[in-house]
Amino acid sequence: MRRGEIWWVNFDPSIGSEIKKTRPAIIVSNDISNYHSSRVQVIPATSATQKLYPPECYINIKGKASKVMADQIMTVSKERLYNCMGTITQEEIKDVERIISIQLGLISAN
């Protein structure tokens, strides 16, 4: 499991407005942690792309327009992940890093 890979992740059970169901997510944790830990940090994706908020960006998953939501960044057990679907592009990785920085208040959304 490596940074930038797209995996199916089972987010259930969820509580309140946490992301639900099994859906694609991007691994955003660093590769050293990914190798040594039993957990990874992921940002879930959705095919509901009509609106784009500041902590979100578009990505392409197997030819389908999607968006990832940095406000839903989560640490999950590797046991929740199955079936790697590929890797996002370098340009998409930069966009994902930007929205993480916005979500964590490291940079302004403007």
Range of the domain at 55: 5-103
Question: What average pLDDT score do residues 4-13 get?
Answer: 98
Between CA 5 and CA 72 the distance in angstroms is: 17
pLDDT tens digits for range 79-94: 999 999 999 999 999 9
In a domain, 108, yes or no: no
Q: Which stretches of 1-110 are assigned E, i.e. beta strand?
A: 5-10, 22-27, 39-46, 56-61, 64-69, 74-77, 81-87
In a domain, 109, yes or no: no
pLDDT at 71: 97
In a domain, 110, yes or no: no
Q: Return the percentage of the chain with pLDDT > 70, whole number.
A: 100
In total, how many domains does the chain have? 1
In a domain, 65, yes or no: yes
CA distances 94 to 19, 21, 37, 80, Å, are 23, 27, 24, 25
pLDDT at 110: 78
CATH number at residue 41: 2.30.30.110
Q: Note whether 25 and 4 are within 8 A (CB).
A: no
Position 19 confidence tier, pLDDT thresholds 50, 70, 90? very high
pLDDT tens digits for range 37-69: 999 999 999 999 999 999 999 999 999 999 999
In a domain, 12, yes or no: yes
